[in-house]
Amino acid sequence: MQGLISARQTYILAIGLLTGTSTLVPVAAPAGADRWLAILLAAGVALGYVRIWQALVEQAAVPAFLPPVGTDPAQPGPTTPDGIWSSLAGPVTGRLLASVYLLFFIHLEAMTLHEITTIIGTVPLPRTPRPILSVLFLGLAVWAASQEIEGVARLAEVVIPLSFAASAIVLVLSFLTPHLVEIDRLLPVLDHGWRPLAQGLFSALAFPLGELVTLLPFAASYRHPQRWEGSVVRAIGLVGLLLIGLSIRNVGVLGVEEVSRLPFPGLVAVELVQIGHFIERIEALALFVWVNGSFVKLTVGLLAAQRSLLEMLGIPLSSPQPVSSRLLIALAFTVGALSTGLYKTVMDATHFLSEAYPLYALLFELVIPAVLLATLFRRRRQPVRADQPQPTSRGGDGPGAQ
């Protein structure tokens, strides 16, 4: 049986998704030295995305039937077992949308797993085979996802605040290191014109801001759907400030040419942090942040793929635990197999994220939700014929009141 998550837990999960791999993987890379400005503008544009997603969450959370006899009508939470796409678009179109998003979530999971195994297999565990790392992280993700979104949210409440605090500490120490960050390397602003800035903006929208679309399949699990937007907006604001600071640090420490050449510039910049002979070699903190955030992102994405698969197959979200667990294991095998041959090199992955991924992800993060919302509003504005049954109200004085 699925549990419900609060607005605070939604806020924590959003932070985990945004910081999952973005603290070490370059964000808004096409913008060059102006990537901090691209992230700032992208955070503002992302608020429009969130408004669309919020409208879909509220529409999916509207109860279709009266609550069963003996239940409290004031109890928050959904009353329908349907997934979000079936609730919004009907059973046929909903299953089609669920299958499309299933493919997107599997690809997103494969990219996340590839980034995890690449950096872990490069820095702390260079002699460990990548398949072993994949099995380890996927096994843990399957176990965590088997606890449903409520269990994942409780896990995130423990690890994400610690990870975010550690990331903020590392950033502050970078700026406190004498002669490490040279702000002049960020000047002049818009040195190459507006086009690189626009490309960086769209890149940051796709990764990581637009990946918050992963939270949509859990529309039936939000205790207070009307507060979903506020939780996500606060997460975007907080993580946006962190990413701006990280981008300024990376360019100020390494220079734009070196940042563009390195697959993980954030890790290299952290290795140079040294205050006296007391604080140095703090890259372990950066890895701690990255591993925790990426694990939460991997787990949430796997659970989102599972819910999409359940909806595609027409299986209720409250299906028995053995059925859900088998689907999680099957999805984990698929993600692991796809991640092994996804990219030949790390730079191929970076190039895909900055060049091809923004256009590819735009379809799932903005186009489909916007078209679906417009269709819903168009249906609502159409006049209701007299022979059509009227929806039953949830109480009060009216035709549906008992």
For the chain, the domains span 13-62+80-376
Helices 283-313 and 321-340, axial angle in degrees (round to 10): 120
Predicted local confidence at residue 7, as pLDDT: 95
| The pLDDT of residue 394 is above 90 | no
Percent of the chain with pLDDT over 90: 64
- pLDDT score of 393: 40
pLDDT tens per residue, range 126-178: 899 989 999 999 999 999 999 999 999 999 999 999 999 999 999 999 999 99
pLDDT at 73 over 50: no
CA–CA separation, 188 vs 200, rounded Å? 17
The mean pLDDT of 281-290, rounded to a whole number, is 82
Give the pLDDT band of residue 400 (cuts 50, 70, 90).
very low
- Answer with the residue of higher pLDDT: 398 or 35: 35
Confidence at 286, pLDDT banded by 50, 70, 90:
confident
314 CB neighbour count, 10 Å cutoff: 13
Confidence of residue 100 (pLDDT cuts 50, 70, 90): very high
Say what the pTM is: 0.89
pLDDT tens-digit readout, 376-385:
988 877 665 5
Residue 222 near residue 230 (C-beta atoms within 8 A): no
3-class SS string, 200-244: HHHHHHHCCHHHHHHHHHHHHHECCHHHHHHHHHHHHHHHHHHHH
Q: Does domain 13-62+80-376 have CATH number 1.20.1740.10?
A: yes
